[in-house]
A and B are shown apart, each in its own frame.
Chain A
């Protein structure tokens, strides 16, 4: 479907992910800055229950920087895949309260990559109004059923 991707074309990538990859390796200045920001956000979440988010695409990061950040944060216990107009992936990192959230279009195009510092990303949470609406819907179906209709 797609004839060419960026990866097919020679591109100069500064730094090599395979060389700087591990967490024991040297950590770049940009990476330290963002880890510090995450720490502060986590403290605020713990103290005031204040959620925050970082748009990873707004940062001047190279692919190897993303890799390093990802490896510094590690993987946690929760991984949620949402089927919302394309796939969205919500992964807990090794640090509780830090979520790596990726939103993709139905064509698998990356729409947004966020680090959410929150108890649970809002997109996962079920909305109260929607709960009410589904209760209504179910009640409607039941009434149809009792009137002799099919529940499915």
Chain B
């Protein structure tokens, strides 16, 4: 946490911490495999990491629940995922750091000054803009102020979690604080979104490793690393065969649910959700929500809280709150039909009458 006397390269730190070369190599191999990189890249990562200067990292927390940081720090394979803390110099994190109050504010200023243009920013949480940003302040400064000030000298920004990536729950309707994602405020820096509520720990660390060694990874339209957000949950779901066979759980306690059939009808958002849950899984690789019998909520997608009507409404369902206007339209249609028919009859009768008078006049002539 202190900025003084920092070990310069990652190799220095690893040696000082007694991390063996094999442990390190294994970490690189796992990361390369996890990110679906060619196996030869593990050697490149190893080489780059060893000689890389440990990037200074500033971890900023705004409108968030600390679930993302919990996910990152409480992962069950501490030696692998926490190795990231050997590889970066976490110079500011108001949740983890010992310093508080004025000291911590000074620490932030120092880190920014000393590493201007080179440090990496990790942002956790959405940023409220409502009423001049008063809904989230730290040390008398608003979140938006801290973010813009800190971002000026950042080399890149990694948004950890759906809140900083897309606004998440703070942005959900009715969004009383005027919350926005980081990308709405900072537009002139490379932004990598690692979304999820929370994101998978290994996805966070692998993204950081990729950034340190090989730069910004390939990103999707939402600025998420393609290696983890390239496929939908549905595509990689072990229950997919049941979807294809048309076998669905209809309630949470029917035969289908007990047999582990597809949860599409129970509102699973797997088909429109891009994340690595189905392959990487959670809690020591034990399972992921669908494996525990609950449909995917789509937590790694923008607007996930509001966009699908309900977590339990199937994706194919129409998003129509009330069918009343449709009934009214039907009624109006019927009325219009009566009107048209009446008009036609009137016209018809007029025509008949006209023809009759014509006949009359011709007879009279």
Contact = CB atoms under 8 A, between A and B. Distances in A.
Contacts of B30: 103, 105, 111-112
What band does the interface of chain B fall in when counting residues whose beta carbon is under 8 Å from A?
A: 20 to 34
Interface in A76-93: 82, 84-86, 88
Contact of A3 (B34, B40, B241, B286): B286
B5 to A, nearest CB: 22
B285 interface: yes
Interface residues of A, number: 38
A68 B149 CA distance: 58
A114 interface: yes
Contacts of A5: 286
Interface string A118-131: 00001100010110
A88 B26 contact: yes
Interface string A55-71: 10110000000000000
B270 to A, nearest CB: 16
Contacts of A2: 284, 286
B40 A53 contact: yes
A85 B38 contact: no
B260 interface: yes
B79 interface: yes
Contacts of A6: 238, 291
Contacts of B32: 55, 112
Contacts of B287: 3-4
A127 B238 contact: no
Nearest to A130: B21
A4 B282 CA distance: 12
Contacts of B80: 85, 105, 111
B39 A55 contact: yes
A33 interface: no
A107 B39 contact: no
Contacts of A53: 39-40
Contacts of B43: 122
Interface in B31-54: 32-34, 36, 38-40, 43
A123 B21 CA distance: 8
A25 interface: no
A74 to B, nearest CB: 22
B77 A107 contact: yes
A8 to B, nearest CB: 9
A130 B50 CA distance: 14
A1 B76 CA distance: 12
B95 interface: no
Nearest to A127: B21
Contacts of B310: none
B266 interface: no
A11 B291 contact: no
Contact of B25 (A11, A54, A109, A123): A123
A119 B291 CA distance: 41
A47 B72 CA distance: 46
Nearest to B15: A133
Interface string B279-312: 0000011110001100000000000000000000
B17 interface: no
A123 B29 contact: yes
B259 interface: yes
Contacts of A113: 33
A106 interface: yes
12 contacts: A1-B284, A9-B260, A52-B40, A85-B23, A85-B27, A103-B30, A107-B77, A109-B284, A112-B34, A122-B25, A129-B21, A130-B21
Give me the 6 closest cross-chain CB pairs, A-B, nearest first: A53-B39, A112-B33, A111-B30, A12-B241, A109-B285, A84-B22
Given A11-B238, A11-B241, 17 more contacts: A5-B286, A10-B260, A52-B39, A57-B33, A58-B33, A82-B22, A84-B23, A106-B77, A107-B76, A107-B77, A109-B284, A111-B26, A111-B33, A112-B29, A113-B33, A122-B43, A133-B15
